[in-house]
Structure formats: C-alpha cells, structure tokens
Chains A and B, each alone.
Chain A
Amino acid sequence: MSILQDIKNAVRSRSIHVSYVDVGSCNGCDIEVLACLAPRYDIEQYGIYVHNNPREADVLLVIGSVTPQWVDKLRDIWEKIPEPKVAVAIGNCPISGCVYARRGTLTTPPVENYIPIAAQVPGCPPRPTEILNAILSVAPLIYKDYEEKQP
C-alpha cells in the first residue's frame, strides 16, 4: 500500500496541471503567469503544465478581484475541476482586492468567500519566481498521501 502510495506521491508531484482563471484583474498577474512559461523560468521542467482547461487541472490559479459576472461562474469552474484540487490566489487582487477595494468598486473581493484558497502569492504583480515557488510548495502537500487521507 505504502509503496504504491509513494509511487503515486512521486509521480503526482512531478505532473501538475495548472489552469488559470481571470476573475477581473488588470492583466498584470496573467502575464506574469504566462511569463513562467518562458524558457528562463521554464515552469515545465518541474512537470507543471499550464493548460487552462479546468476539467483536467490540479491547480487552479485565481487571478483578480471578483467581478459581478464571476460570482456564480467561479464556483462552477471550481466544481468542474476533478479532485484532488487546490486553488492558489495570485496577486493582491484575490487576497484583498488590491487598489480596487475602494468606495465605488464593482468587485467583491476576497476570493476566499467563493472558493477555498490553499495558498496566496501576494504582490502586484508577483514575480514569476514567486508564483513558481508557490505552486511548487503547495501542490505536493495537497497530493501527498491523498488516498490515505480519504475517509
């Protein structure tokens, strides 16, 4: 059992599918996530594959403070992701609303109100290295012994 689990842990930690959803950001964090793809940071060398398809994702990167359109849609997307899954908040927007959290805004941050967030990467925008480190540190923890933790 545990050998099997070990193999699963090892394999899973090197094969992470990432999808990102933009729920009302300024684009800054989107392109920093994209910049992680660049050969300089080379997110794929860690086995992370940015695919932007929720149905085969393991990690959902949430970007942006929640706009009215996304209030219900964000939950839909979250439910479409197969277990095990985690959501990582990228940037200030999903954490606090960034500069948009002022009088007159249409957004309703934080994202935690809608879906559970496992890790946060503060910054406006965070550097690609920070994003990379966050994904790498959060993903193995969630998948480690996933089956054994099941009731």
Chain B
Amino acid sequence: MKKTVDVSIPLGPVHPCWKEPVRLKCETAGERVLRTEVELGYMKKGIERIMRGRPWQEVMFLAERVCGICSVIHNMVFIETMEEISDIAVPPRAAYLRVIVNELDRMASHILANFSYCYTIEHETLAMYLLNTRETVLDNLERITGSRINTAYMIPGGVRFDLLPEDAAAMLADLVKVEDEIRRHTRIFETGPLIALRSKGIGVMSREEAIRAHTVGPTARASGVEESDLRLRHPTYRALGFEQITRTEGDNFARIMVRFQEVFQSIDLIRKCVERLPEGPIRGGGLCKAGEASYSGEAPRGELTYSIKTDEYGRVLDIAIRTPSIMNIEACAHSMIRDVTSIADVTSTFISSDPCIACNER
C-alpha cells in the first residue's frame, strides 16, 4: 500500500509565532501539507456564562474583554444591541465620536495583524516599523479614552468623554505622521521581492470557497466577496460615504494589502468625522429595558454578532456572541493551508487570516 501521510506535525499551543495558544495539526507528505486540523479550547473562560444575570455596566467590561485586540468594537456592538433593545437614541456627536474611536482601534488591530505576519515571515524590520506606528495610533486612543487597550468608552446613550479641540488637532497631526509611515511600509511590503516570494500565490482561497466557508472581514474581502463589510449598513458610516475595499487575488499578499488599504481608509474616515463633528451633548441617557435583539457590527476581523435578551431591569438574561475568527480559522485550515507547498508556509498563512483565539473561544 502506498503511504500517503509521512508525519503529522503539531504546531503549538506555545509557538513562537502564535500570540495565543492554538494548536494546528498538519499531516504532511514530504514538505507538502495534505490536511490541517485546528485544535481549539485553550482559552475558554466562559464569558457568556459570567455575563448572565448582570447589568450592562458589568457586562460591558466583560464584552470588552472578549478580545483585547479589538476591544472597542465589542464594546460598541454590545452597547448598540442594548440600545436597540431599549430604544435609546444616540446624540449625533456621540455617534461620530464612536466612529473615531472605533476606527483608531481598527487601525491598531490591522497594524498589529500585519506586524504578526511580517514577524512570521521573518521580515523583522518591517514588523518593528509597524509596531512603532501602532504606538502612535494607541497614543491617540489613550488621549481620547484614557487607556490604550480595553478603553470602556461607550455607554448606552452616548460615550464617556468628549473630544477636546486641542486633542482633535493633535490627533490629526499624528494621523499625517501615521499615514506617511504606513504609506512607506506599504511600499516596502508591495515591492519587496522576498516578501512577494513568501506571500504571493500562497494560501490562495477562491471566491467560491470564501463564500462557502462564510468567511468574513478582510479575509473575505481579499478573496473578492462583495458586500461583506457591515460598515456599509451602519448609519453613521453610511453618512460618511463608506465604501468597501475588495481585492481579488485571495492569497496572503492580498489579505495583508487589504488591511493596509483599510488603515488608509480609516484615516480618511476619522478626518471626515472630525470635520463634520456636530456640536451638542455626548450623552442622552436612557435606561435599559426588557427585550431581545440581535445586532451585528464590523470588527477588524469581520462580522461580530451579539444576541441579547434582557429582563425589565436591563439585566442580561441570555447572550450569545458570534465572533468573526471562528469562520476564518476554519476556512483557513481547510481552504488556504490545503495546498501550501511547504510546512514553513503554514504559520504565515494561518497568521495572515488574523486569527484571534481569545474572541474565538471566549
């Protein structure tokens, strides 16, 4: 009988390339990877179980700590779900401030994802450049909200702190710097011949596969799935004239480039927000009521859905969170890694789909 599988190689749970514990089991024939399996469950904390029976001011912090990298969007989607349940209207100024903070967080998250990828393909110079640029973004986040990560910025009916004119000016000045730097990094990434060797044509996922696997976020957009960005449906983003970025290659290179392009787009959105920022209150008040709703928002990694049921005192009775990474990780294991020619590309392909294990398992 012909032997098809040579050896099964485990990667992880503690691996120099993984930021978080996850285990990949690759079955290989020579250098070629035949099949990959993802083993999850190292990070299950039971957040949804803890959330039950708690009022919003406690659940908000738990929601944020579903994922520390993209904490703002978890906060935002949870709060907007509660607002939908309780019919709370947000003052326009608060809505714009939310977008600003959310986009800053998205930039930080995308830059971190690209950092991880560059680090994984051992382009440490670019990785360190990116990490330093990310610090500038986080500075702005800190200036507005008071903390770098887990900002706890949004509350039902508004936001916690106002944006001062001098902070806005400092932010715009910083954004010019960030834009400059990212433009340079993008050029390095686009034109680097060694980067191209490690990225172009590797881990290709076709549009059909992407749709079949229900991939979301930049992973789907890099494979050319249209209308996959939920910001298209968010009223504030619609008012800002948001347009989706789509690429068609579907390989590692495209996924990283989509993120770079989205960083530019986020910078534009923030500029537009600051320009149009209306005067007025930042909190409208409003109590959480009983009800049931399901609401989605676009996290840096894709579609994020909260389904919440509350009782008459605004406590969360039941909650289900669907995070984007779960689809992306499965699609990554089954479609992207399937045909890589070398075991060395498994880590970089996996990282290119920006897996977030913490929000995956909660």
Contact = CB atoms under 8 A, between A and B. Distances in A.
A–B direct contact (CB < 8 Å): yes
Contacts of A51: 16
A26 B46 contact: no
Contacts of A38: 128, 131-132, 134-135
Contacts of A26: 64-68, 71, 150, 358
19 contacts: A21-B21, A22-B42, A24-B42, A24-B45, A27-B359, A28-B68, A28-B71, A31-B68, A34-B112, A39-B132, A52-B15, A54-B14, A67-B42, A73-B13, A98-B65, A99-B61, A100-B50, A106-B44, A127-B148
A40 B45 CA distance: 33
Interface in A72-104: 73, 77, 98-100, 102-104
A125 interface: yes
Secondary structure at the B interface, as helix, strand, loop or mixed, is loop
B67 A104 contact: no
B44 A69 contact: yes
A100 B69 contact: no
Contact of A125 (B62, B68, B134, B135): B68
Interface of A is mostly: loop
Interface string B40-63: 011111110110100000100110
B71 to A, nearest CB: 7
Given A38-B134, A67-B44, A105-B45, A27 B19 contact: yes
Interface string B129-151: 00110110010000000001110
B20 interface: yes
B43 A40 contact: no
A57 B94 CA distance: 47
B327 interface: no
B20 A107 contact: no
Interface residues of A, number: 43
A65 B43 CA distance: 9
Contacts of B43: 22, 24-25, 64, 67
Interface string B12-51: 0111100111000000000000000000011111110110
Nearest to B41: A69
Given A100-B46, A105-B45, A127-B148, 12 more contacts: A25-B68, A26-B150, A28-B69, A29-B68, A31-B19, A32-B148, A65-B45, A70-B42, A98-B65, A104-B49, A106-B44, A106-B45
A67 B14 CA distance: 15
B222 interface: no
Contact of B45 (A67, A103, A124): A67
B45 A31 contact: no
Interface in A6-58: 19, 21-32, 34-35, 37-40, 51-54
